Amino acid sequence: MQKITTLLFCSFIFLFTGIAQTKKVTLEEIWGGAFRTQGMDALRSMKNGKHYTVLNFNRNPRSSSIEKYDYQTLEKVETIVSSSAAIPYFTSYEFSEDESQIILATEVEPIFRRSRLGIYYVYNALDKSLIKISDNKIQEPELSPDGSKVAYAYDNNLYIMDLESKTTSQITRDGAYGSIINGITDWVYEEEFSFVQAFEWNSNGTVLAFLRFDETQVPHFSMDVYGSELYPHQYQFKYPKAGEENAKVSLHLYDLNSKALSDVDLGDAYYIPRIKWRNHPNSLSVQTINRHQNHLKLHEVNARDNSVTLLLEEKDAAYVDIHDNLTFLADDSFIWTSEKDGYNHLYLYDQNGGLMNQVTQGPWEVTKYYGYDQAEDRIYYQSVENGSINRGIYSISSSGKNKKSLSTVEGTNAAAFSADFTYYINTYSSATTPYQFTLHRASNGKKLKDIKDNSELLSKLTDYSIVPKEFSTLTINGNELNMWMIKPPNFDPSQQYPLLLYQYSGPGSQQVANRWMGSNDYWHQMLASEGYIVACVDGRGTGFKGRDFKKVTYLNLVKYETEDQIAAAKKLSDLPYIDENRTGIWGWSFGGHMSTNCLFKGNEVFETAIAVAPVTSWRFYDTIYTERFMRTPQENPDGYDNESPFNYPELLKGNYLLVHGSGDDNVHVQNSMRLVEALIQANKQFEWAIYPDRNHGIYGGNTRLHLYTKMTNFIKENL
């Protein structure tokens, strides 16, 4: 048996043992919100750097408000606006450039993961007036820099409302469902490039840049919606599966003075994942990338004549990630992140795209870029310099010198800086500490005040059978893999316990992290209290350990990841306190694919698996995600088929539970149906459940409680 090397075992191992632990976590408590943490919703710094705002909600009576606080004292200065008889209940807000006006979102309803429809208002904080933007439910309203106008999308077209005259102009007229979309991304861009609003004002509000999606040739996908009516109906939308046609995307400019629409020729651009205006009102930055997503270009578009200049290129043998770390400084030089030296780091370029210097470097990754203080020449960022399972806050000069560590407590630190970089509010958590919010001085990280913690929750948990995670590494296939393990309360090393592995394993992901518990963690604690050991191993392909570790799975998704989980289960089964004949694994989405493959291909190791909303063939998944890691099915058929479990259903030997939502717009229920048919024809017995009309998250009402009750019972009966 090979030694498991301990990375971290918190000194708070006895944190929850001060009071006799007699209560077990229940599913009703988990999904009823009993362990919900307190936070600071929609925290935003105001322009003066002295104040910040927070969105507060009250349940009884139901109301919402934007509260303004002083950084130095943390005292509330004023209520900027609150819902009332005249102002509808709102759930999000956005300030104008000068903070005199605020867009308030009401009656919001989701479309897909990030897209929303809603009734929106513009509230004037000076004269307390309220303007309704449209009687229709619209998308993504955005105030112009001077606050005089608001642009928005409705029915696949773009509109601009003049707030003084209260008149609205329609900018595009060719928008049509299932055909042309103006200013809003299509399904696959929203899901995989992580944005919805595809239009942007320039710095003086004279030009609106937007993307146009022609999805006419994209194949339809349809889902039956059962609802409560007599007859079900079909919901159809455009979904490009791997190797199929994508929408044709183009860039356009609308000049508000001349009211002229113009096209921008970006050459051979296949995807346009980002547009962002520079400080000069005639300079637009545009990112394009090829279909293989291994050659990214950053362009400058001159809005005077629509000419295009190349600023920089990124190439990779596998793929180039899209990010939001592009920041233009006062002279339009810019900060950028790249993996080109093997790890994700910060780089500084001049305004013409010439490299000035690499700002950060080392065998660790920058995980978030916070901003640049021009007056002090300080760049603020988050990284894994103190271990890949932790997050720390740092500052550094643009020359790459004078680096300072601002966070001192090991765990996960995240920062929200004041606009002038005088202060930041730190959000901290660890595996043993729920979220704490503290005020710090940005220059040296010194803590000035405690704002909010979750001490009541921590105190409440002392009554429960909660066992802190043990963090360690496991040597598998020549790699040191991060792992956590939860052992049962009153663990006895002379006894043997069943093992349940949890994982996700998708490219660049991380499940082994030193942060506070989520809902699954509480469920794992509940299982531990029932006598199970629960563990999680981040294998090859996961994130924050360098480019090569992450991209080794290129062209073979799930192959090496499955090998690592099988090998990890074997090694853990060698431990004297683990019963090698009772080994299970579970996962959701990519993790569902993983758990299925582990049970099938590792049928001598695993006895039980649960797969929730799994991919079962990458041929069924979307173009942008799948082709980024696999290229097309036409180019890489073996990569697509060799890891598809419905091609080897005869390998199933153990206990298998398959779960899917019939309304999953992301990983379609087709994935599970094809696997079900293959297992039936192979005469393999298994259990499965379909949740009607539920999407990829499988939630709503008692759905999550029902799902986790089913999974709990399955584990107790079969592991």
**Residue 436 belongs to a domain:** no
Q: Which pLDDT value is given to residue 10?
A: 39
Kindly give the parts of the chain with pLDDT less than 70.
1-21
* Domain interval for residue 519: 5-33+458-718
The set of residues, in sequence order, having a beta carbon less than 8 Å from that of 17 and lying 6+ positions away, is none
Cβ count near 685 (within 10 Å): 9
CA-to-CA distance for 100 and 326, rounded, in angstroms?
A: 27
User: For 411, which DSSP code?
Assistant: S
**What separation in angstroms does the CA of 373 have from each of 337, 398, 411?**
17, 10, 26
The C-alpha atoms of residue 102 and residue 55 are separated, in whole angstroms, by 12
Q: Do the domain assignments include residue 602?
A: yes
pTM: 0.95
- Taken in order 328, 329, 332, 335, the sign of the CA dihedral is negative
Omega prior to 498 cis, within 30 of 0: no
Residue 609 maps to a domain: yes
CB 585 within 8 A of CB 562: no
- Cα 595 to Cα 565: distance, rounded to the nearest angstrom: 9
Examine residue 635 and state whether it is found in any structural domain, yes or no: yes
Closest CA to 647 of 611, 603, 616: 616
Both tokens assigned to 169: 């102009």
CA distances from 490 to 18, 217, 465, 494 (A): 14, 61, 10, 12
User: In this predicted structure, what is the pLDDT of residue 6?
Assistant: 41
Residue 106 covered by a domain = no
d(CA 514, CA 698): 27
What tokens does 637 get?
A: 């058929």
Which residue, chain included where needed, has tokens 């629409």?
A: 261
- Locate the DSSP E strands across 516-577: 533-538
* Structural domain includes residue 613: yes
- Interatomic CA distance for residues 575 and 683, integer angstroms: 35
Q: Bridge partners of 181?
A: 213
For 290, the token pair is 């090829």
Q: Which amino acid is at 62?
A: R
Please classify residue 489 by burial: count the beta carbons closer than 10 Å to its beta carbon, then call 0-12 exposed, 13-18 middle and 19+ buried: middle
In a domain, 362, yes or no: no
Assign 455 to helix, strand or coil. helix
Please report how many Cα atoms fall inside a 13 Å half-sphere around the Cα of residue 189, on the Cβ side.
26
pLDDT tens digits, 553-580: 999 999 999 999 999 999 999 999 999 9
**Is 640 within the bounds of a domain?**
yes
Backbone angles phi, psi at 670, to 5 degrees: -50, -40
Give the position of tokens 């963090």: 471
Q: Are 253 and 262 in contact (CB under 8 A)?
A: yes
Question: What backbone torsions phi and psi does residue 192 show, to the nearest 5 degrees?
Answer: -105, -25
Within 13 A of 579's CA, how many CA atoms are on the CB side? 15
Q: How many CB atoms lie within 10 A of CB 92?
A: 16
Q: How many domains does the chain have?
A: 1
Taking the C-alpha atoms of residue 101 and residue 124, their distance in angstroms, rounded to an integer, is 5
Query: Which single residue is written with the structure tokens 């509000």?
Result: 205
Distance CA 187, CA 196 (A): 9
Q: What separation in angstroms does the CA of 220 have from each of 215, 246, 263, 631, 633?
A: 10, 11, 28, 22, 19
In this predicted structure, what is the pLDDT of residue 353? Answer: 97
CATH of the domain at 504: 3.40.50.1820
d(CA 200, CA 276): 7
Single-letter amino acid, residue 321 = D
Nearest to 117 by CA among 233, 196, 221: 196
* Contacts with 604 (C-beta within 8 Å, 6 or more apart), sequence order: none
| Single-letter amino acid code for the residue at 612 | V
Q: Hey, CA dihedral for 585, 589, 590, 596, is it positive or negative?
A: positive
pLDDT at position 633, please?
98
Instruction: Report the C-alpha gap between 182 and 173 in whole angstroms.
Output: 9
| Residue 206, amino acid | T
* CA–CA gap between residue 714 and residue 428 (Å, rounded): 36
Q: Where are the alpha helices (DSSP H) in 482-558?
A: 519-529, 547-551
What distance in Å separates the CA atoms of residue 218 and residue 408, rounded to the nearest whole number?
Answer: 51
Please answer whether residues 293 and 337 qualify as being in contact, where contact means their C-beta atoms are separated by less than 8 angstroms: no
Q: Pick the closest to residue 205 from 167, 249, 255 (CA basis).
A: 255
Contact call for residues 214 and 251 (beta carbons, < 8 A) = no
| Distance in angstroms (rounded) separating the CA atoms of residues 566 and 583 | 10
Q: 382 — phi, psi (to 5°)?
A: -115, 145
Compute the residue count for the chain. Answer: 719
Q: How far apart are CA 269 and CA 234, in angstroms?
A: 34
Handedness of CA 527, 669, 503, 679 (dihedral sign): positive
Inter-residue contact 412 to 514 (CB < 8 Å):
yes
Question: Pick from 558, 628, 631, 620: which is nearest to 595 by CA?
Answer: 558
- The answer to whether the beta carbons of residues 159 and 168 sit under 8 Å apart is yes
Burial level of 309, CB count in 10 A (0-12/13-18/19+)? exposed
Residue 163 CA to chain centroid, in angstroms? 34
Closest CA to 507 of 563, 552, 567: 552
CA-to-CA distance for 441 and 501, rounded, in angstroms? 42
Both structure tokens of 499: 């093992």
Residue type, 64: S
